[in-house]
């Protein structure tokens, strides 16, 4: 019998009450500009882009992720940024700890051959997406004018990271792993 493939990605999900605060901001942008794509996942900072994995390899993946132990990085949000002409996001201050975490995740995944060639070689630019692919170009410029000066300052220590799994319609946190 052939093993089914499921979609996963690895991310930092902010703790409460920050999670709710960011979710409310994503919802506000969604209502104002009629966009829904960013609402299909919890607020997160992607460490490894979405990838397909056969169901029979899930146990191996979970075992590998359980082994990742590093000093938890501090994540600091500082205002709003954009990737013109479709993406609005919460900016994250540069942090060696975040880069170390991303590289560590990738090095642990390499032996079990979890790759997404679409993103191979792209630099790590930590951010938290507020709106993306369904934000029309025309609306992007209006949204950017409205939000670019928004003051959003917050931080958290990323004591854990999460494996998210697509359930067929939205992304859900599947399992969380402690970094200590």
Domain of residue 69, CATH code: 3.90.1140.10
Global confidence as pTM: 0.93
Average confidence (pLDDT) over 157-162: 98
Average confidence (pLDDT) over 108-113: 86
Residue 111, pLDDT score: 86
User: What average pLDDT does the chain have?
Assistant: 93
Closest CA to 161 of 83, 108, 93: 108
49-80 pLDDT, tens digit per residue, is 999 999 889 999 999 999 999 999 999 999 99
56 neighbors 135 (Cβ within 8 angstroms)? no
At 167, list the tokens.
């359930």
Sole residue written with tokens 């969380």: 176
Residue 95, pLDDT score: 93
* Secondary structure letter of residue 170 according to DSSP: S
Q: How many independent structural domains does the chain possess?
A: 1
∠ Cα 36 42 45 (to 5°): 110
Distances (CA, A) of 6 to 1, 22, 54, 117: 16, 27, 6, 17
pLDDT score of 135 more than 60: yes
∠ Cα 86 10 39 (to 5°): 40
pLDDT score of 130 more than 60: yes
Residue range(s) defining the domain that contains residue 157: 5-178
∠ Cα 70 72 73 (to 5°): 120
Residue 1, pLDDT score: 54
**What pLDDT band is residue 11 in, cutting at 50, 70 and 90?**
very high
pLDDT score of 117 more than 90: no
Residue 118, pLDDT score: 59
Task: Kindly give the interhelix angle for 18-33 and 137-147, rounded to the nearest 10 degrees.
Answer: 130
Residue 119, pLDDT score: 55
pLDDT score of 96 more than 80: yes
Average confidence (pLDDT) over 20-45: 96
Distances (CA, A) of 32 to 28, 140, 147, 164, 176: 6, 11, 11, 27, 32
Give, rounded to a whole angstrom, the gap between the first and last alpha carbons of the chain: 38
Sole residue written with tokens 């170009």: 137
141-152 pLDDT, tens digit per residue, is 999 999 999 999
Q: What percent of the chain has pLDDT over 90?
A: 89
């Amino acid at each position: 019998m052939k093993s089914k493939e499921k979609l996963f990605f690895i991310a930092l999900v902010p703790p409460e009450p920050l999670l709710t605060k960011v979710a409310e901001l994503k919802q506000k942008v969604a209502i104002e500009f009629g966009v829904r794509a960013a609402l299909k996942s919890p607020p997160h900072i992607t460490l490894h882009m979405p990838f397909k994995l056969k169901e029979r390899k899930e146990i191996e993946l979970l075992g590998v992720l359980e082994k990742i132990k590093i000093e938890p990085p501090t994540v600091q949000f500082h205002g709003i940024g954009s990737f013109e002409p479709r993406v609005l996001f919460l900016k994250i201050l540069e942090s060696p700890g975040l880069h170390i975490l991303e590289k560590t995740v990738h090095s642990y995944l390499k032996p079990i051959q979890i790759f997404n060639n679409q993103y191979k070689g792209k630099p790590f630019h930590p951010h938290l997406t507020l709106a993306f692919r369904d934000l029309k170009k025309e609306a992007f410029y209006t949204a950017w004018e409205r939000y670019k000066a928004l003051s959003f300052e917050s931080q958290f220590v990323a004591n854990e990271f999460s494996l998210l799994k697509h359930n067929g319609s939205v992304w859900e946190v599947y399992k969380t792993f402690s970094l200590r």
